[in-house]
Structure 1
Amino acid sequence: MRRILAEKELTQEGLVRGSGAKGKRRSVTVNLAESPLSWLHARGHIDERLFVAGERLRDDYERAQLGANVTMRWDPVRVKTTGEQGLTATERQIAAKDRFDGALREAGSGLQDILWRVVCAGEGLPDAEKQLGWPARSGKLVLKLALDRVADFYRVR
């Protein structure tokens, strides 16, 4: 996740510390492991239902391997035995892609952009609003609408 801070310094705990401008020193701590969705949930901006729906969408996005790939795949070679049951890795990937596509269809064409940017790509709301050319502080409402539809798709109660 990319967050712009002045004079970045990475600590051993995986935190970024920065100092302010104009001679005043201040410390800013950013948890690099925290997603924009979990940030919104932790501060009460979205409820548990919407958070779970967003996490399921992100999980399907990752399971479908829709993100950028490296040039070499290091997956272990599978040896088929008689005791093996269930879906193969490819079948699980296809099922996740189908769920992901269905969830985006359920969200609707006008809501897919903010949903993908914040939940899957990990962009913060201000960055997503800016990239989409939306007014400041409009993304949270649209994201809530999209997550509500996705929660209906995943049958999250």
Structure 2
Amino acid sequence: MTAEMGEKTPLDMLARLKARDGSPFLTEEAFAAGERLAEDFNRALMQPRISASLEPRLETRGRFAAPSAMSDTAIDARRRVARALKAVGPELADIALDFCCFMKGLEQIERERQWPVRSAKLMVRTALLALARHYAPPPAKTGIRGWGAEGYRPEILAFFAEE
């Protein structure tokens, strides 16, 4: 996902990085998961306001749009964001939000959290992989699974046998 006016997002820049063996640093699934979270976040109208509010009453002002004033699309997107962040867990949810939704770069995340240099790259990748697992869980095992042991079914021929 590209930001306004052709700027690259931190997610786009991280996706261009290569691992030591030359493979992409982020999997396609992790990149898509980060984009999906950002799209849902924007669709949910969760971005804080930057400008002053001209609404006359304090009760109607809020950091986010009031649920009664939101469309069904925004409400559904807000639920998807909440489910995704819950699936990622409290340890990684704020990192995913900062990186994917608030467009904070790796250096800014490290500086704000007072982390060592280059540590945010690994934490962001971990958060994105957890998001990818939430959005595309591993396929369920298919096929018929039986619960009975060998010989648990009665023999039909035994009912018709003559004594």
* Correspondence list, 1:7-156, <5 A: 33-43=7-17, 44-69=24-49, 70=51, 71=53, 90-155=71-136
TM-score, length of structure 2 as denominator length: 0.63
Distance 1:50 1:97 in 2: 20
Post-superposition offset of 1:46: 1.3
Distance 1:48 1:42 in 2: 11
Contact kept in structure 2, 1:53 and 1:156, CA below 8 Å:
no
Q: Which has the larger radius of gyration?
A: 2
Contact kept in structure 2, 1:63 and 1:93, CA below 8 Å:
yes
Q: Give the fraction of aligned pairs with identical amino acids, expressed as a percent.
A: 32
Distance 1:40 1:156 in 2: 23
The AA in structure 1 aligned to 2:48 is A
Bigger share in strand: 1
Distance 2:54 2:42 in 1: 17
Post-superposition offset of 1:143: 1.1
TM-score, length of structure 1 as denominator length: 0.65
Q: For structure 1, which runs of at least 5 residues remain unmatched after alignment?
A: 1-13, 15-31, 74-88
Distance 2:123 2:26 in 1: 12
Post-superposition offset of 1:156: 7.0
Distance 1:66 1:121 in 2: 10
**Aligned equivalent of 1:10:** none
Bigger share in helix: 2
Distance 2:100 2:11 in 1: 6
